[in-house]
Amino acid sequence: MTALLETRGVWQRFGGLVANSDVSISVGRGEIVGLIGPNGAGKSTLFNLIAGVLPPTQGSIWFDGEDVTRLPAAERCQRGIGRTFQVVKSFETMTVIDNVIVGALIRNTVMRVARRKAYEVLEFCGLAARANVLASDLVPSEKRRLEVARALATEPKLLLLDEVLTGLTPVEAKTGVELVRKVRDTGVTVLMVEHVMEIVMPLVDRAIVLDLGKVLVEGKPNEVVRDPKVITAYLGDRHAVGA
Amino acid sequence: MDKDFAKRRRRELIVAFCLAVIAALVPLFVKDVYVQNVMVLTLMYAALSQSWNILSGYCGQISLGHALYFGLGAYTTALLFTKFGVLPWFGMLAGGVISALIAMALGYPCFRLRGHYFVIATIVIAEIGLLLIQNWEWAGAALGIDIPVRGDSWLKFQFTRSKLPYFYFALALACVAWFVTWWLEDSKWGYWWRAVKDNPDAAESLGVVVFNSKMGAAAVSAFLVAVGGSFYAQFVSYIDPESVMGFQFSLLMALPAVLGGIGTLWGPLLGAVILIPLTELTRSFIGGSGRGVDLIVYGTLIVLISLALPRGLVSLFARPKFFWRKAAVR
């Protein structure tokens, strides 16, 4: 079976800065893959390349057996890539349900159907009670969930989650983790960028560690966290010896 | 929840229908020609502002150059009639289509601009349009066009003896603009536009083609405004560049919506009903020497509204309902 998502030798340069150099990763169907790494490792850049915010300087991106390297974000969404934003980007003047309807409209052209679909997604994400509230009135953890709901309404095959669990209280993070599992159980593949190792590691099937724009290590989460290279990247040389 | 929404939509339609019927009956009681004239203008600006609101309110692309489309509508109709004898009804349609096409042609470069830069571009383009018409000999240049009177008829859309036909046309136009907005509000375009206004990046990630949505909004908006311009040409029966394409028209389309509530269904109508009679009254009260006093009135109103009710006058209507509901629960 071919991978759902594959990046082949992807480079991204911003002027003299190399954000991604020769990154080749693949994500299989039904997996939850964690993309981790210290600040400035190039996680967000890679994420944006996959979502189609900008095309890579070099290399190609394959999704579901198709080269999507040059496709703009909207068309990738059409193909089945859904995403959330690290800094939440709710439609603030619209109600929660209307936010989700925007996402639902890509698969449903009849308004009544789109509205019902949006409501189902809100129930799935535990936001149904807030359906008619303005997005600007939501608390931060609810806004994160709205990001996920909106992306899910586009019925993605691959869901890209950009730090959805960061900055939440432990209880909120726990419900977040449950939500991600629930999403995967519906057959959606998940690629998530995360900072907080202890939350992500039990959740993901596989972790890919980026450092200085390159893939450092890839493997089972418990192996990855013990890898001296990873510890060095996160904590510096001094701690690697102790490990 | 689905039912609540459908109920709200239906209620809006009923309210609009009742308002239209009441408005249609007003001339039976108001015979004064001056007042009728003010009513025609009020309805026309309600329609124009409603159309402006589609691009600038819902889609968030603030245009201060809509006078261009107004003028295009007026000139197309007047030129086709005086030069080729084409009936104003066809001129109206032609003006609308030409304006929509020009709006898209201009949108092609301009929609890459964001925020203030876009606003500046719209002002400048409208000014260029004004200058071009002012120097176009065939179209009457700065002297303008006198639309010849060929007797009262609906066919030629000319009425010299009574303002009433104009009143009913303006009313119909306001109804159409309102209905188009109402209909678009719960359509794919309506959701896309609001998403584009609030956050284009997020919209794009959800499959919204931001550029096309802006183009669509511009075309609909320009078409309706041009129809308004065609009507105005027939109504005043004499047009010159400054009187149909001047900057004040761009302002007078934007202000009612801003006053009433930008990006809302009822805002433009509410704003026009308050602003236009007020303007006309101050203008006639002060007379020819007071040119510019109406501008002071707008300015003061806008400052007051943006300080006290940033979401426009319609937010006044939302609040009491909230209180009633609370009271009912207790």
Assign residue A70 the CATH number of its domain.
Answer: 3.40.50.300
Q: List, for residues B122-154, the tens digit of each pLDDT value.
A: 999 999 999 999 898 888 888 888 888 777 778
In a domain, A117, yes or no: yes
**Closest of A90, A123, A118 to residue A106, by C-alpha:** A118
Report the distance separating Cα A188 and Cα A100, nearest Å. 18
Looking at the structure, do residues A229 and A120 belong to the same domain, yes or no?
Answer: no
Cβ of B210 under 8 Å from any chain A Cβ?
yes
What DSSP element (H or E) covers A97? Answer: helix A96-104
Q: Which residues of A touch B209 (CB under 8 A)?
A: 74
In a domain, A163, yes or no: yes
Looking at the structure, do residues A75 and A17 belong to the same domain, yes or no?
Answer: yes
Looking at the structure, do residues A149 and A188 belong to the same domain, yes or no?
Answer: no
Looking at the structure, do residues A150 and A168 belong to the same domain, yes or no?
Answer: no
In a domain, A145, yes or no: yes
Residues 43-82 of B with CB under 8 A from A: none
Looking at the structure, do residues A174 and A73 belong to the same domain, yes or no?
Answer: yes
In a domain, A232, yes or no: yes
What's the confidence (pLDDT) of residue A239? 64
Does the structure show a pLDDT above 50 at B327? no
Report the distance separating Cα A50 and Cα A35, nearest Å. 12
Give the gap in angstroms from C-alpha B190 to the nearest C-alpha of chain A: 9
H helical segments located in chain B? 2-29, 33-53, 67-84, 88-110, 116-134, 164-185, 188-198, 200-205, 210-236, 241-245, 247-260, 267-286, 293-308, 314-329
- The predicted complex's ipTM stands at 0.90
Q: Say if CB B72 and CB B226 are below 8 A apart.
A: yes
In a domain, A32, yes or no: yes
Test A106 with B195 for CB contact under 8 angstroms: no
**Closest of B13, B18, B4, B2 to residue B183, by C-alpha:** B13
Which of A68, A88, A102 should be substituted to probe chain B, the one whose Cβ sees the most B Cβ atoms within 10 Å?
Answer: A102
What is the residue range of A168's domain? 5-80+157-242
Report the distance separating Cα A193 and Cα B126, nearest Å. 47
Does the structure show a pLDDT above 50 at B325? no
Q: Which residues of B touch A150 (CB under 8 A)?
A: 202, 206
Nearest CA in chain A to B3: A112
Q: List, for residues B255-280, the tens digit of each pLDDT value.
A: 999 989 999 999 999 999 998 888 88
Domain count along chain A: 2
Q: Cβ-count burial of A170 within 10 angstroms (0-12 exposed, 13-18 middle, 19+ buried)?
A: exposed
Q: Say if CB A113 and CB A120 are below 8 A apart.
A: no
Looking at the structure, do residues A74 and A166 belong to the same domain, yes or no?
Answer: yes
Q: Which residues of A touch B199 (CB under 8 A)?
A: 89-92
Test A72 with B205 for CB contact under 8 angstroms: no
What's the confidence (pLDDT) of residue A200? 83
Q: Say if CB B92 and CB B224 are below 8 A apart.
A: no
Does the structure show a pLDDT above 60 at B330? no
Looking at the structure, do residues A76 and A102 belong to the same domain, yes or no?
Answer: no
Among A155-159, B34-38, B283-287, whose mean pLDDT is lowest? B283-287
**Closest of A201, A240, A242 to residue A223, by C-alpha:** A201
Give the gap in angstroms from C-alpha A157 to the nearest C-alpha of chain B: 13
Cβ of A77 under 8 Å from any chain B Cβ?
yes
For β-strands B238-239 and B145-146, DSSP reports them as antiparallel
**Closest of B46, B55, B52, B318 to residue B172, by C-alpha:** B46
Which of A137, A155, A173 terminates a domain? The answer is A155
In a domain, A85, yes or no: no
Which of B4, B53, B186, B205 should be substituted to probe chain A, the one whose Cβ sees the most A Cβ atoms within 10 Å?
Answer: B205
What type of residue is B87? L
What's the confidence (pLDDT) of residue A243? 42
The upper half-sphere exposure of residue B81, i.e. CA atoms within 13 Å in the direction of its Cβ, equals 31
Q: What percent of chain A has pLDDT over 90?
A: 64
Looking at the structure, do residues A65 and A161 belong to the same domain, yes or no?
Answer: yes
Does the structure show a pLDDT above 70 at A77? yes
Q: Which residues of B touch A119 (CB under 8 A)?
A: 1-2
What are the Cα distances from residue B292, in Å, to A29, B104, B124, B256, B298?
68, 33, 22, 18, 10
